[in-house]
Structure 1
Amino acid sequence: MNIKNIHIGSLIKSKVEEHQISMERISRFFESTEEEVEQMYHANSMDTDMLLKWSKLLRFDFFRFYTGHLILYAPQSRIDNVFRQKENTLIFRKNIYTQEVKDFILDKIKTGTMSANDVVERYKIPKTTLYKWMKKI
């Protein structure tokens, strides 16, 4: 799985095959022809309503791939982690790392593609968080 370049159609097709869902059931669910479903498998991106339907049908959150992409390739700066409301109350936002993101990062370290310090610098993941992940493997 490539978190940087997401091809949502192939990810959906993979899940369909994993769950062994028939084309007939999918066609009925989407009220589409087999050709239209096949076109979705080849789609690099798709409408969020359609992606939500796929998520419901396959009982899998396909949006998590995009969340992972945002965490890795558009990380929030430390200043952006604090928001001010009208009453000067501080609200802290904590990044949520999906299992896919953790696996992606840990694979980079395991294969020697990146060091732990490289990961911390490039993706702005706190050292303590990274080392906790590494401890669990």
Structure 2
Amino acid sequence: MSGFAQLLGPMISESGDAFVLAPVEYLIGNPLLPALHGGAVASFLEVAAKRALHRRLSPGQPSQLISVNLQFLATARLDALVTTPKVRRVGRRIAVVHAEAFHRGDPAAVCFAQLEFAVHEPIRVGGNADRRTL
């Protein structure tokens, strides 16, 4: 996990599919409302989507984020944000994941995200460890 992902601290909930972003002071973007920073919300959805994708990939199979489409629909209040990313497609080279951030107990979404990842061949251990097919 990257240092920034550790800073965000998204955690797996009891169900194992949902991720939670706890509101902390250093993630506040607008102290007057107060509201979480949009970049923190976007990063939270990215980290959660990548974790959901890696549950579906083969062990050692790397992926790389290539595209993100975000739609912010409401202010991210200083309450915990929850997302349950859905892996929509895993092809030979591209994977698509959708994620929606919302506050617990509030069905209205704060942000929708569609993320595309380049999916690479699993890294082989042994004589051809340096060779990967893109």
Verify same fold: TM over 0.5: no
> Larger % of helix: which?
1
> Larger % of strand: which?
2
Greater RCO structure (CA 8 Å; 6+ sep):
2
TM-score by length of 1: 0.25
TM-score by length of 2: 0.26
Q: Which has the larger radius of gyration?
A: 1
